[in-house]
Amino acid sequence: MALEEKRQELGRGAAQPRGKEEKERVSSPPKEEKKDTSIFGGKAGMEKRTFDYKLSDPELYRGIELGEQRRRELGKKLFGNEDYIKKSDLERADKELNSGKWGKFKDFSEMDKQDSKKLIKKLLGEKK
């Protein structure tokens, strides 16, 4: 009879809700935050003159092998009339470049499109 009583006690213990300490222990580990590797460094956007200055950064050359003059030229073609550039502007430009002859950049040469895609990917912090 003692064995059956033990089983009943164990069965009741499993059905009872866990205490607060046990629930906290069972929860999943916190997620790691992804570091923003874009040119914006976690900020929402930047002014045009700051953006132009960052285009002259030699670090950009290593990743895409476009000279400073070419990067500045593409920056003006892509965002020439904007005073404030946001990360979403870069993402939108990347999608427009992929839309072929119907997008905003339909008059770009094929070389301009390829170089612009490289530049935008580097500015967004994406790998090749």
Which tens digit of pLDDT belongs to each residue from 5-30?
877 777 765 555 555 555 555 666 66
Is this structure's pTM higher than 0.85?
no
What are the pLDDT digits (tens) for 41-57?
888 899 999 999 998 88
What b/e string do you get for 15-41 counting C-beta neighbours within 10 Å, with b at 16 or more? eeeeeeeeeeeeeeeeeeeeeeeebbe
User: What pLDDT does residue 32 have?
Assistant: 66
Q: Rounded CA gap, 122 and 124, in Å? A: 5
User: What pLDDT does residue 21 have?
Assistant: 56
Q: Rounded CA gap, 105 and 93, in Å? A: 8
Task: Judge contact between 120 and 97, C-beta under 8 A.
Answer: yes
pLDDT reading at 37 higher than 70: yes
Question: 77: Cβ–Cβ under 8 A, 6 or more apart, which residues?
Answer: 105, 108, 112, 116
Enter the tokens of residue 53.
Answer: 């200055």
Phi, psi of 96 (to 5 degrees): -65, -35
Burial of 115 (0-12, 13-18, 19+ CB in 10 A): buried
Chain-wide mean pLDDT for the chain? 82
Beta strands of 16-125 (E only): which ranges? 45-47, 84-86
